[in-house]
Amino acid sequence: MSTKTSLIAWLIYPAVMILVIGLHFQLLNLAWAIHWAAYVPVMLGALTVNLLERKFPHQPQWQPDRYDWGNDLVFMLLVQVLLPRFLSFFIAVTLLAALQQYGMVLEGFWPHQWPIAVQALLMLLAADLLRYWLHRAAHEWPPLWRLHAVHHSPKKLYWLNVGRFHPLDKSLQYLLDALPFIVLGVSAEVLALYFVFYAINGFFQHCNIELRLGALNYLISGPELHRWHHSKIIAESNNNYGNNLIIWDIAFGTRFLPDDKQVEELGLINRSYPTSFWTQMKTPFIKGLDKG
């Protein structure tokens, strides 16, 4: 790796993250609607990560083909974009109405007076702790693993397959990293800031870019750590459960980042696990497909 390429590898993650979050705040200052002030930076961030994958690939053989793009685009649109809206409407709104009906107002349990960035950090810490244990359970408890195996089925990592989750798996995640905070009345500004970081870090976490996070690997669950989580070798993949942060893995002894080797093969032990979207809607219910 040349000195120029090495410098770029160190700068990519912090530079893109700072620019995207900065753009989010700038659009809010320009009085953009909050959803557009969140979605536009995320979409530009996705485009940037995609271009960087083409220019600085970590593994050239992980470059997606048209089949990968088609499948993962369906997952992204249906599972990551539409499903959370459906859940918010039918679960969050219904639950909030029920709580209000019985006089159970939980908004007082959240520090609404804190600065927005500090509230977003608190949400990040709390949501990641809940997701850590759900994610770990999904690797250690067979009924959950059958759902989660869908996410581990790709044999290559690139930014768009961050969205490859079975809808039931995604619904369980929603119950822990979104619903509690909606019920607590966390403001739209805090939720938007959390979403921007969550989305961009997720794109990077699964990206096929040659980059380095250095000391951030003790704070952020980034690509260098997450590639090991997608290893075909179970002793390697049953680590690094953090969704955005790696601090809970450090606390509970599951951080794994060897410095003397690279990930060799990704995916499941069952190399014939179905890969299409519609087939993967059924695979959790077919016995024996989820090995690895």
Q: pLDDT digits over 172-195, tens only?
A: 999 998 889 988 989 999 999 999
Would you say residue 69 lies in a domain?
A: yes
Residues composing the chain: 292
According to DSSP, residue 266 is labeled: B
Would you say residue 203 lies in a domain?
A: yes
pLDDT tens, residue by residue, 96-117:
777 777 767 677 789 999 999 9
Return the structure tokens found at 251. Answer: 């606390």
Please count the other Cβ atoms lying within 10 Å of the Cβ belonging to residue 65. Answer: 8
CA distance 77 to 75: 6
Q: Percentage of the chain with pLDDT > 90?
A: 83
Contact criterion met (CB below 8 Å) for 206 and 162: yes
What pLDDT shows up at residue 1?
A: 56
Contact criterion met (CB below 8 Å) for 153 and 267: yes
Q: Which of 197, 187, 195, 171 is nearest to 17 (CA)?
A: 197
Would you say residue 276 lies in a domain?
A: yes
pLDDT tens, residue by residue, 237-287:
999 999 999 999 999 999 999 998 899 999 999 989 999 999 999 999 998
What pLDDT shows up at residue 182?
A: 87
Q: Which pLDDT band, with edges at 50, 70 and 90, does 2 fall under?
A: low
Would you say residue 291 lies in a domain?
A: no
Please count the other Cβ atoms lying within 10 Å of the Cβ belonging to residue 40. Answer: 15
Q: Which of 177, 176, 169 is nearest to 201 (CA)?
A: 177
Q: Which of 275, 257, 266 is nearest to 212 (CA)?
A: 257
Query: Helix 3-29 to helix 188-205 angle, to the nearest 10 degrees?
Result: 160
Q: Percentage of the chain with pLDDT > 70?
A: 96
Return the structure tokens found at 192. Answer: 């938007």
Q: Which of 238, 281, 277 is nearest to 147 (CA)?
A: 281
Would you say residue 152 lies in a domain?
A: yes
pTM to 2 decimal places: 0.94
Would you say residue 290 lies in a domain?
A: no
Domain encompassing residue 116: 3-285
What pLDDT shows up at residue 77?
A: 97
CA distance 9 to 223: 12
159 pLDDT above the threshold of 60: yes
According to DSSP, residue 166 is labeled: -
Contact criterion met (CB below 8 Å) for 125 and 245: yes
Task: Please list the residues that pair with 231 across neighbouring strands.
Answer: 266
Would you say residue 292 lies in a domain?
A: no
291 pLDDT above the threshold of 90: no
The number of distinct structural domains making up the chain is 1
What pLDDT shows up at residue 141?
A: 96
pLDDT tens, residue by residue, 198-248:
999 999 999 999 999 999 999 999 999 999 999 999 999 999 999 999 999
